[in-house]
Amino acid sequence: MTERVTPSQTVGPFFSIGLADATQNVLVPDGSVRIVGQVLDGAGDPVPDAVVELWQPGADGTLWGRCGTDAEGAFEFVTEKPAGEDGSAPSIDVLVFATSPTRRQTPTTRSSHRSSPASARRSWRGRTARHCASTFVFKASSRRCSLPFEALFVPAPLRAAVSDAAWLRAMLEAERALAVAEAKAGVISQDEADAVVEACDRSYDVEALAEEGRRVGNLVEPLVRALRTTAERAHWGATSQDILDTAMALVAREAKGLVDA
């Protein structure tokens, strides 16, 4: 019997499977408020494996609920009108857990009740506008988060060591090492490994890869597709998380060396 290599695959994190395995979207049974929404990625496509959490003040303390999105990125909650605190507009805090190429995203927004005074709503919007795009549709932003004086306080070598380009180099190094090891173990042929090494030595546009990776929430998948245009056995038997975890260790090792120097 010939042993077959485990096929390549793209893996989690699967937020809805890990966090929303029970019905937790009813904060108040028979509540008078029904909240329905949709989670979309930066390209406007539904995110089918996101998790949405709601937090709001209630009569007996803080109310909490959680709902995984369906194939259309939709979610639904049943609750009641929240009580205002300290004279502020009644509001509900919303957290969204969804994947991105290299890290989990937890964008936060707040839903303000429409019957609240206009002045209170304006006050809330002024405080939180930078955190949300709308009340019920959440879209990932491609805007990079950084400190305003990053260039002053973080040395250029360290910024380069943890940059997008550094992550790409680390993933390519992981794919290259995997192919070399598999050739030594007889899993793939030497010619197939050489093709992978040659493909990993080419230049790739990290911004373009990130844009393509939005659909699956993972940068490895579009990178592997690019590698396999000339190297069929690239990523053979590995998972996306294998490559990301290895790349993370390589990036961290480089950064730590600079910090310790």
**Cα–Cα distance, 108 to 131 (Å, whole number):** 6
Q: Output the pLDDT for position 116.
A: 46
Q: How far is CA 226 from CA 103, 132, 191, in A?
A: 21, 34, 18
Which of these CATH numbers, 1.10.10.60, 3.30.70.1560, 2.60.130.10, 1.10.443.10, describes 15-139? Answer: 2.60.130.10
Q: How confident is the model at residue 14 (pLDDT cuts 50, 70, 90)?
A: low
The dotted CATH code for 150-260 is 1.10.275.10
| Length of the chain counted residue by residue | 261
Determine contact, residues 177/186, Cβ cutoff 8 Å: no
Find, among 228, 188, 186, the residue nearest to 204 by Cα.
228
Instruction: At 199, list the tokens.
Output: 């493909």
The single residue listed with the structure tokens 């230049």 is 203
The single residue listed with the structure tokens 């070399």 is 180
Find, among 119, 107, 115, 122, the residue nearest to 82 by Cα.
115
Q: Output the pLDDT for position 138.
A: 40
76-126: per-residue pLDDT in tens? 999 998 877 666 777 888 888 876 433 344 444 555 554 444 433 343 334
20-68: per-residue pLDDT in tens? 667 789 999 988 999 999 988 877 888 888 889 998 888 777 899 999 8
Domain limits, the chain? 15-139, 150-260
**Cα–Cα distance, 220 to 240 (Å, whole number):** 6
Q: How far is CA 165 from CA 142, 231, 235, 256, in A?
A: 16, 22, 20, 17
Prediction pTM value? 0.49
Determine contact, residues 245/173, Cβ cutoff 8 Å: no
